Structure 1
Amino acid sequence: MSTPKITKISVYHVELPLNEPYRLSGGRLVDEQVETTIVSVETGDGITGWGEGCPWGARYLPAFTGGVRAGIVELAPALLGQNPLHLDQINRLMDFNLQGHWYVKSALD
């Protein structure tokens, strides 16, 4: 059995419509959709893992989906070629290459 290696990381921006508008702060902020980031992590053995980063948005938290996508682009080169089963090593690499930003890393781990 060969050792699995990450060969490709893909990032997708998805806008999810809500059944009804979400009102925040007494109705001052109204959202009719939620943005999310979907991530696929592929190995050379044909196995694909999926993750998601869906922070509420830049108006509500410092974390936002555009930041998730930018962070994944930053981290992807360090993760390519790594064994996806070695989560401790993956987490160390992510921490070394991108300080903080847990909302980015959660989509990958």
Structure 2
Amino acid sequence: MKIRRIFAHKVELPLNEGSYKWSGGKSVTVFDSTIVGVETECGLVGYGEVCPLGPFYLPAYAEGV
């Protein structure tokens, strides 16, 4: 099995609760996350989610992918 391509998409996940409050007065209504996909030469595709807390948890992480 050989990998044909790897792809990543940044997505915004809205919060069902409306907002989430962090320390220091920060508040968010969506979390940035990254969906990663791997496609094989035979057409199989697998997906994974990365960093559901987005840049509020680790600012460099969300932009680095």
Q: Alpha-carbon deviations, 1:48-103, whole Å to 9, x = none?
A: 11111125233433553222x2xxxxxxxxxxxxxxxxxxxxxxxxxxxxxxxxxx
- Three-state SS of the structure 2 residue aligned to 1:65 is helix
- Three-state SS of the structure 2 residue aligned to 1:52 is strand
Alignment RMSD (CA, Å): 1.8
More strand by share: 2
Unaligned runs of 5+ in 2: none
TM-score (normalised: structure 1):
0.52
For the Cα contact (< 8 Å) 2:32–2:55, is it kept in 1? no
For the Cα contact (< 8 Å) 1:37–1:53, is it kept in 2? yes
**In 2, distance between residues paired with 1:37 and 1:49?**
14
> Could you say which structure has the greater relative contact order, defined with CA pairs below 8 angstroms and 6 or more residues apart?
2
When residues 63 and 55 of structure 1 are mapped into structure 2, their CA distance, relative to the original with a 3 A threshold, is farther
How many pairs are equivalent?
64
More helix by share: 1
- Computing the radius of gyration from Cα coordinates, the structure with the larger value is 1
For the Cα contact (< 8 Å) 1:56–1:63, is it kept in 2? no
- Three-state SS of the structure 1 residue aligned to 2:63 is helix
**In 1, distance between residues paired with 2:59 and 2:9?**
20
Q: How does 1:12-91 map to 2 (within 5 A)?
A: 12-19=9-16, 20-25=18-23, 28-61=25-58, 64-67=61-64, 69=65
- Three-state SS of the structure 2 residue aligned to 1:58 is helix
